[in-house]
Structure 1
Amino acid sequence: MVYIIMICMVVPLMLLMTMLNGKSRLLFGFVLVGMLFAVCAYEINTLVCHIFGLSGTELSIKAAPIIEEILKALPVVFYAAFVSDERRWVLRLSMAVGIGFAMLENAFLLITYADEVDIGWAIVRGISTSLSHGICTLIVGCGIIFVRKQKKLFYTGTFALLAAAMTLHATFNLLIQSPYDYIAMALPIIIYAVFWIIRLNISKPAY
């Protein structure tokens, strides 16, 4: 099923990419990469769940954050390390990977649990969960720009960034399945709002 969903979503976007140029095509490409890695994460998560006998809740807290954040970070680290470390585009591409990942994951869950979902579920998945995936990848993107220039810190710094992303991801998954799910819903929105406030303040011209 996940492959059918991927084909139905990715192929139209690939056709649209032929109408785009330059950076717009690159941004769309990273959204597609995020979708591709969502499929990879699904396969790896399924395998890990089978090998270790994890329940869905255990998987979402103990294994999925590690697997998914490593996969989402790969294209971001590669781009920043070997193509360009231009801050603006690394951040955009980081968010694109996370959002692409969330789009395919949301579509798969919607079809799998179609009889159990409602508007509330769609709002949470569409806003909070999508932002959570994007922000976790954005953490790696923000840090890799600095870490890349510090050769002695590259490996340890990259590990620290991944650990931060995994921790935030696991915390979100833990809270969203608890009585404190409202905190999980608000957390990505607050973090993203703070990110934009800081970014706008930094970009303001000095007088």
Structure 2
Amino acid sequence: MTYIENVFVCIAAPLLLTAWCMGKGYLRFFLFCFAGMGTCLLAAYLNTFFAMVYHANAFSATAEIAPVVEEIFKLLPVLFYLVVFEPRPDDIRNAVLTVAAGFATFENICYLIRNGAENFGFLLVRGFSTGAMHIVCGAMIGWGLMYVWRQPWLKAAGTCALLGAAITFHGIYNLLVAYGGVARYIACALPLITLFLGMGTGKWFAAVSKKNKNIEET
């Protein structure tokens, strides 16, 4: 049996002390990191609960229940941040990505505790692919929220649409991993390729936008 709440305390304790030592300037980062790990802990309990309620096997729980529960829980602290503090667009993006990174980190640690750390090659691939999957889902929501929350009429519908896109991507990844075989290798490559393409496209758009702005100014 894995006592993940004990694992959470052991990981959070040194980070909490570090946040206290580094001061208010870094407090937001650590809070969202804690939020990501905390939502991972709560999502694990909810995944188990719904799997028992619906009598789902491991495949169904992984492909159908986990993506919905985990993406909703990752979004909740960000929504609280948006409603209460009304942050700047860049702060929204950073908050979502930090929550996603905290979630992925805690999930990988729990996986290591349950399954051991003998197979370095597999764990290396899984660590990067799972992390990239959560980051891609976070990026979808983060960059989308930067736009939809500027439009009052689009907040609710846009947030639901972004959540649906993240759940779909997460579900495809989990489905391929659970199916096994060649599909598992595709699953490992999918989020990494998506992440690199997204970063490249973002940099290209930023460069084009900067170039057009310079032309307009001249």
For the criterion TM > 0.5, the same-fold answer is: yes
Match of 1:154 in 2: 155
The one-character-per-residue Cα deviations of 1:168-188 (angstroms, maximum 9, x if unpaired) are 000000112333212111111
Structure 2 unpaired stretches of 5+: none
When normalised by structure 1's length, the TM-score is 0.92
Shift of 1:22: 4.2
Corresponding residue to 1:192 among 167, 188, 195: 195
The one-character-per-residue Cα deviations of 1:72-96 (angstroms, maximum 9, x if unpaired) are 0112223234324423222222111
Match of 1:62 in 2: 64
**How many equivalent residue pairs?**
206
For residues 198 and 88 of structure 1, do their structure 2 counterparts lie closer, same or farther at Cα, with a shift above 3 Å needed?
Answer: farther
Q: Secondary structure at the match of 2:21?
A: coil
Match of 1:130 in 2: 131
Q: Which moved more, 1:45-54 or 1:149-158?
A: 149-158
Aligned pairs (5 A) from 1:94-105 = 94-105=96-107
Shift of 1:56: 1.6
Match of 1:106 in 2: 108
Mark the structure with the bigger radius of gyration: 2
Contact 1:77 1:144 in 2 (8 A): no
- Percent of residue pairs identical: 30
The one-character-per-residue Cα deviations of 1:75-122 (angstroms, maximum 9, x if unpaired) are 22232343244232222221111111111111111111227x511331
- State the AA in 1 paired with 2:199: W
Aligned pairs (5 A) from 1:1-207 = 1-114=3-116, 118-177=119-178, 178=180, 179-204=182-207, 205-206=210-211, 207=214
For residues 42 and 112 of structure 1, do their structure 2 counterparts lie closer, same or farther at Cα, with a shift above 3 Å needed?
Answer: same
For residues 28 and 76 of structure 1, do their structure 2 counterparts lie closer, same or farther at Cα, with a shift above 3 Å needed?
Answer: same
Shift of 1:21: 3.6
Contact 2:93 2:146 in 1 (8 A): no
Q: C-alpha separation between the residues in 2 aligned to 1:36 and 1:69? A: 13
The one-character-per-residue Cα deviations of 1:44-86 (angstroms, maximum 9, x if unpaired) are 1111111111112111111110000000011222323432442
Q: Which structure is higher in helix share?
A: 2
Contact 1:131 1:189 in 2 (8 A): yes
Q: Which moved more, 1:14-23 or 1:127-136?
A: 14-23
Q: C-alpha separation between the residues in 2 aligned to 1:102 and 1:167? A: 17
Q: Which moved more, 1:12-21 or 1:74-83?
A: 74-83
Structure 1 runs, 4 residues or longer, greater than 6 Å off: none
- State the AA in 1 paired with 2:43: A
Q: Secondary structure at the match of 1:180?
A: helix
Shift of 1:23: 4.7
Aligned-CA RMSD value? 1.7
